[in-house]
């Protein structure tokens, strides 16, 4: 009898966990994969390949969650790029507010490893908040902002990220930087440097061409770029309400 009761309790517990994970997203949020599974995902804060060097609070899955209007606009961008054998790759989408607080706490903890310094080679991480690279209130938490890059579908797959390797900083030549398995935009994602400004002149013609392709496709479908980050775009008209629900695996 005790075994049967224990088994029943375990089954009920597993069902409760499954139900919690499968809860619908709030207020017109949607998993981007549900709209277009061809758009690639590399949600960097869900792993260790980012400027913090670990998973951020609230990032429990490699999933892009956005407001529906944002997702529909991204689908249009993807369709336009497909004709050029190019795909979008999502690097960050909706960001739980707790993750922004995690970033701020990290920037102020007084510790900085060489791996973390790769992303801000010109100054200390404690300056990131003052200089506006990190904010307590992020537009990502509204579901209106995305970070993304491009993948050349004709190119061979790049090497995997090795967390034990001492890569060069985010402004170094592509072969020396941490691999991102995407086109060479002139800097790594999340690079806090003037070379990461969308219109930077200190990059090669080929790198500028890729930036123009991304910028052109995104702006044609309503997105606005943040001029200091070639990867960051937002869609106007989304209410400025921040959310803090965790990013969980998309229900199958």
Q: Binding site: residue ranges?
A: 140, 147, 232
DSSP string, 6-43: HHHHHHHHHHHHHHHHTPPPSTTEEEHHHH-TTSEE--
Cβ neighbours, 10 Å, residue 165: 10
- Of the residues 63, 174, 180, 229, which is catalytic? 229
Number of helical (H) and strand (E) elements in the chain, helices listed first: 7, 7
Q: Which residues are annotated as a binding site for Zn(2+)?
A: 140, 147, 232
Q: Is 112 a catalytic residue?
A: no
Closest CA to 192 of 101, 107, 88, 105: 107
Q: Are 238 and 142 in contact (CB under 8 A)?
A: yes
- Residues annotated as catalytic (active site), given as ranges: 229
């Amino acid at each position: 009898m005790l075994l049967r009761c224990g088994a029943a309790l375990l089954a009920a517990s597993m069902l409760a966990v499954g139900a919690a994970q499968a809860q619908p997203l709030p207020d017109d949020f949607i998993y981007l994969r549900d709209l277009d599974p061809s758009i690639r995902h590399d949600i960097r804060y869900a792993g260790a390949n980012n400027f913090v060097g670990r998973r951020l609070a609230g990032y429990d899955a490699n999933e892009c969650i956005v407001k529906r209007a944002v997702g529909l606009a991204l689908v249009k961008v993807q369709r336009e790029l497909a004709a050029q054998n190019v795909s979008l790759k999502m690097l960050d989408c909706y960001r739980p507010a707790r993750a922004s607080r995690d970033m701020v706490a990290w920037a102020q903890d007084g510790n900085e490893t060489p791996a973390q310094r790769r992303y801000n080679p010109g100054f200390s991480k404690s300056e990131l908040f003052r200089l506006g690279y990190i904010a307590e209130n992020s537009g990502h938490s509204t579901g209106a902002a995305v970070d993304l890059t491009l993948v050349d579908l004709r190119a061979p797959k790049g090497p995997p990220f090795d967390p034990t390797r001492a890569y060069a900083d985010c402004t170094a030549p592509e072969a020396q930087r941490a691999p991102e398995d995407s086109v060479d935009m002139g800097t790594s994602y999340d690079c806090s440097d003037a070379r990461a400004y969308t219109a930077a002149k200190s990059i090669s013609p080929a790198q500028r061409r890729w930036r123009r392709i991304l910028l052109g496709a995104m702006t044609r479908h309503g997105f606005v770029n943040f001029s200091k980050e070639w990867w960051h775009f937002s869609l106007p008209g989304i209410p400025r309400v921040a959310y803090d629900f965790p990013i969980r695996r998309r229900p199958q």
